[in-house]
């Protein structure tokens, strides 16, 4: 807001009338309007809070990892943001790290990696995942976290996804509870924000 200095007001009111002419009318003195600093601050705070609520409700949600089945990338008690909107626009892809309601108890949430999508043919031979007739190369699974479990061939049903943890030797995943229905998947892991040493994009 532009401010008017007192000198201007004094200069205007100091003009002398000509002899015999009527004195100029003087209206009530105007006090410069002060900016409502506190009101603006409260308004900005309200807008920021509303925007945060909308972002958390419809776009991103902070979650905390519990357990070590996604080592080495995700550690126990890591805090990260999940994107709750992305799968309304884009398809779920192999390799995505997703959060979903546990099929056997929807009150619980699991975080795992998508290994196979609807229509994929999958089997596991002594820890080696085979996908559509080809061995799956999984650079996100270090050798020390692999196991020797096997699983018979299956074809992932429509609207279902096969999930596995990166720490194969301790993970409870689709090898036990089967493929996960699309309606149970509600977010994609995007970014670790705490602790600082782990901060970064989830891949």
Q: Provide the annotated active-site residues.
A: 69, 112
Token pair belonging to 24: 């100029």
DSSP single-letter state for residue 197: G
Nearest C-alpha neighbor of 99 from the set 85, 84, 89: 84
Pairing mode of beta strands 180-181, 160-164: antiparallel
* β strands within the chain, DSSP E: 60-64, 79-83, 97-102, 105-116, 121-125, 128-131, 134-135, 151-155, 160-164, 180-181, 185-194, 200-201
Check whether the bond before 195 is cis (ω within 30° of 0): yes
């Amino acid at each position: 807001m532009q401010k008017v200095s007192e000198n201007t007001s004094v200069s205007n009111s100091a003009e002398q009338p000509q002899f015999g002419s009527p004195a100029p009318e003087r209206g009530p003195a105007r006090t410069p309007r002060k900016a409502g600093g506190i009101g603006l601050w409260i308004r900005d705070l309200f807008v920021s809070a509303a925007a945060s609520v909308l972002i958390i409700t419809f776009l991103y949600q902070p979650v905390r990892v519990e357990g070590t089945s996604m080592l080495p990338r995700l550690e126990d008690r890591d805090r990260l943001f999940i994107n709750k909107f992305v799968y309304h626009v884009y398809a779920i892809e192999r390799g995505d790290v997703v959060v979903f309601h546990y099929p056997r108890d929807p009150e619980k949430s699991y975080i795992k990696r998508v290994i196979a999508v609807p229509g994929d043919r999958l089997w596991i031979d002594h820890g080696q995942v085979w996908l559509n007739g080809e061995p799956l190369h999984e650079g996100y699974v270090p050798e020390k976290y692999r196991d020797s479990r096997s699983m018979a061939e299956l074809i992932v049903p429509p609207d279902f996804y096969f999930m596995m943890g990166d720490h194969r030797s301790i993970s409870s995943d689709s090898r036990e509870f089967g493929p996960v229905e699309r309606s149970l998947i509600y977010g994609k892991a995007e970014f670790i924000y705490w602790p600082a040493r782990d901060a970064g994009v989830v891949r």
